[in-house]
Structure 1
Amino acid sequence: MIVAGFGCRAGASAAALQAALDAALVTVRARRPGLPGPDVLAAPLDRLAMLEPLADALGARLVGVDEVALRGQHTPTRSLRILAVRGCGSVAEAAALATAGPLSRLLVARHISPDRSATCALAQGSQT
């Protein structure tokens, strides 16, 4: 299972979310050609509705991640601002890892949309 985890500002556009996902996929596919698109899109519960159009377009399942699950994830990215606000180093990385399950691993750390309003990280796991 491939999980795309997202972090975003409240005003992030659908184009910004798509751009962050596209950048993450380009990076991971350079290392793993043929890797499929995400099976699941994950984001904090308060940002979930923003991802509905993208999930529908991709035919991916949408999963909300609560604050406790985000705080429980160790992420390679350590944003001090996000640590203070959300309790994790990267919302995108934490959402991807929490959703992919306990034996998951990041395929690619967060990628930032050109307008800096959205991030996306990809994880692989065995949970459904």
Structure 2
Amino acid sequence: MIVAGFGFRAAATTESLRDALAITGEVDVAALATASDKAQSTAIQKLAAELSVPVIEIPAEIMASVKTTTQSAKVIEKRGTGSVAEACALIAAGTGAELKKERVVSGDRLATCAIAYGALK
């Protein structure tokens, strides 16, 4: 099971998310994952519809419990984890998941994406 995890700003568009996913080089994801407070955003819902995959909501307290490869001081302060994209991808991919691609940043700098693989919970 391959999951694309996303972190993004409120101004991010579907194109921002699509660009970040394209930068990872992954073309076959089974689900998108993001923080619960972002999961209903138009941008990610539209991308999920385009890809015909679900959006998995990751609660803040669970996301904060995941150690990530990328460590952003700003994200740690706001979200309690080093990378929202990496944490969400790892959690959504399930127990024993591993990062396939560390966090990348969209060209407009509004979205990040990371790829994890594992068994879906």
TM bin (shorter chain):
over 0.9
Mapping of residues 75-86 of structure 1, within 5 Å: 75-86=68-79
For normalisation by structure 2, the TM-score amounts to 0.94
* 1:28-65: CA deviation from partner (whole Å, max 9, x where unpaired): 6xxxxxxx511010000111123111001001111100
Give the structure 2 partner of residue 41 of structure 1: 32
Unaligned runs of 5+ in 2: none
Residue 19 (structure 1) shift:
0.2
Give the structure 2 partner of residue 61 of structure 1: 54
- Partners of 1:21 and 1:73 lie apart in 2 by 21
Aligned residue for 1:37, secondary structure, equals coil
Specify the code of the residue in structure 2 equivalent to 1:3: V
- Partners of 1:109 and 1:94 lie apart in 2 by 10
What is the root-mean-square deviation of aligned Cα atoms in Å?
1.1
Q: Does 1:17 align with 2:10?
A: no
Give the structure 2 partner of residue 111 of structure 1: 104
Deviation >3 Å, runs of 4+: none
Pairs aligned (count) = 119
Residue 13 (structure 1) shift:
0.8
60-69 or 85-94, which deviates more: 60-69
Higher helix share: 1
Identical residues among aligned pairs (%): 38
- Partners of 1:101 and 1:39 lie apart in 2 by 13
Unaligned runs of 5+ in 1: 29-35
For normalisation by structure 1, the TM-score amounts to 0.89
Aligned residue for 2:10, secondary structure, equals coil
